[in-house]
Amino acid sequence: MSDLSTLHVGGAAPYDVKVGTGLLGELPAMLGAGVQRVAVIHPRALAATGEAIREDLAQQGYDAHGIEIPDGEEAKLAPVASFCWQVLGQTGFTRSDAVVTVGGGSTTDMGGFVAATWLRGVRVVHMPTTLLGMVDAAVGGKTGMNTTEGKNLVGAFHEPAGVLCDLATLETLPRNELVSGLAEVIKCGFIADPLILDLVEQYPEAATTAGTDVLRELIERSLAVKIGVVVDDLKETGGAAGHPGREALNYGHTLGHAIERVERYKFRHGAAVAIGMTFVAELARLAGRLDEATAERHRSILDRVGLPTTYGGGSWGQLHEAMKVDKKTRGDQLRFVVLEGLAKPAVLQGPDPALLTAAFAEISR
């Protein structure tokens, strides 16, 4: 396949991430030998796609079953996991069988969690269909679901057997969903690969258009950033020489997740993360950790592709309470991933409350 790229993820459980178009033929090899039953977990919105993949697997001799789950964050609730477990139990899923997820980040998170917890872990192959899913959720083995107290508070580390990023699926993605996913791409630029920022700034139209060489390069560069981070620090225990390790991938997510919770998950993840990045850039600037030009670059690059940099929803009190259950919090101390310069992530622990309110004032409208 002429347009196929392969990025290898090393570590204790190595696997490949394949990027290209028309990748369905790669699926059996990723499932591996000995798999008889395959559960194709997909959201309601992708019922036709999920059924097409199920039929293709059935024609190749697999005992393939479709499991439809809700769209978006509604998929990441305990009753959905229970429903999936019930289907796996009724169809006789064994430890040698496999799950395939088809969808965006929410489907990948929940499908991965189901695979991680069924019989303490069965194989899973992710087929992300959104930009967010490709550059963030599908790689790195994090799975999770939400509770009423917060986002992704329940989960497990469970690395996939492989990931298939079919770029053709982005052609039908609504533009606002593509733009939302670009927040995670820009995040990778700020924490590790500034060339990503240069590309977005130079070619904003191509960066937000499916099928362009620029978007493909942005996807592959973002994948390389994530792979590099998770191989060094799979379970978020910390990086070397003061680097926050995998925590760096949460840049912008502390406030971002709080916004999502306050907005009852009606706010797009990428939009919330964009606001979160603008907030921590201001926080780092006010704390004397980041220069003004780099802080301002957050606003300019996010504005250029149509991502928000201000927030006028919930009060600071609501957001502050929501942040207290963030996974990075230790005891009563909030922790934020900040920058000390381009591609120089660090952790700011227990910042002065006055700094937090001042930074929030900079993004309030």
CA-to-CA distance for 30 and 38, rounded, in angstroms? 12
CATH T-level fold of 5-172: Rossmann fold (3.40.50)
Among residues 175, 88, 97, the alpha carbon closest in space to that of 130 is found at 175
Q: For residue 287, what pLDDT is reported?
A: 97
Of 18, 142, 187, 261, catalytic:
142
Domain 175-363 has CATH 1.20.1090.10: yes
Q: Is residue 253 among the annotated active site residues?
A: yes
Of 68, 177, 236, 260, catalytic:
236
Tens of pLDDT along the chain (365 residues) come to: 459 999 999 988 999 999 999 999 999 999 999 999 999 999 999 999 999 999 999 999 999 999 999 999 999 999 999 999 999 999 999 999 999 999 999 999 999 999 999 999 999 999 999 999 999 999 999 999 998 888 888 999 999 999 999 999 999 999 999 999 999 999 999 999 999 999 999 999 999 999 999 999 999 999 999 999 998 878 877 766 668 999 999 999 999 999 999 998 899 999 999 999 999 999 999 999 999 999 999 999 999 999 999 999 889 999 999 998 876 666 678 999 999 999 999 999 999 999 999 999 999 97
Binding residues for Zn(2+): 184, 253, 269
Among residues 84, 34, 88, the alpha carbon closest in space to that of 62 is found at 34
Residue type, 19: V
Query: Is residue 127 within 8 Å of 107, Cβ to Cβ?
Result: no
Q: Is residue 327 among the annotated active site residues?
A: no
Which residue ranges make up each domain of the chain?
5-172, 175-363
Of 123, 158, 216, 250, catalytic:
250
Q: Is residue 187 among the annotated active site residues?
A: no
Binding residues: 71-76, 129-130, 142, 151, 169-172, 184, 253, 269
Query: Is residue 155 within 8 Å of 113, Cβ to Cβ?
Result: yes
**What pTM does this model have?**
0.95
Q: Is residue 246 among the annotated active site residues?
A: yes
Burial class (CB in 10 A: 0-12, 13-18, 19+), 278: buried
Of 18, 123, 243, 253, catalytic:
253
Of 123, 126, 257, 335, catalytic:
257
Of 246, 285, 299, 328, catalytic:
246
Q: How far is CA 76 from CA 83, 84, 105, 152, 164, in A?
A: 12, 12, 10, 8, 22
Binding residues for NAD(+): 71-76, 129-130, 142, 151, 169-172
Q: Is residue 298 among the annotated active site residues?
A: no
Q: Is residue 269 among the annotated active site residues?
A: yes
Of 68, 177, 184, 260, catalytic:
184
Of 120, 264, 266, 330, catalytic:
120
Residue spans of beta strands (DSSP E) within 10-74 = 15-20, 37-43, 63-69
Q: Is residue 152 among the annotated active site residues?
A: no
CA-to-CA distance for 323 and 254, rounded, in angstroms? 6
Around Cβ 351, how many Cβ atoms within 10 Å?
19
CA-to-CA distance for 349 and 333, rounded, in angstroms? 7
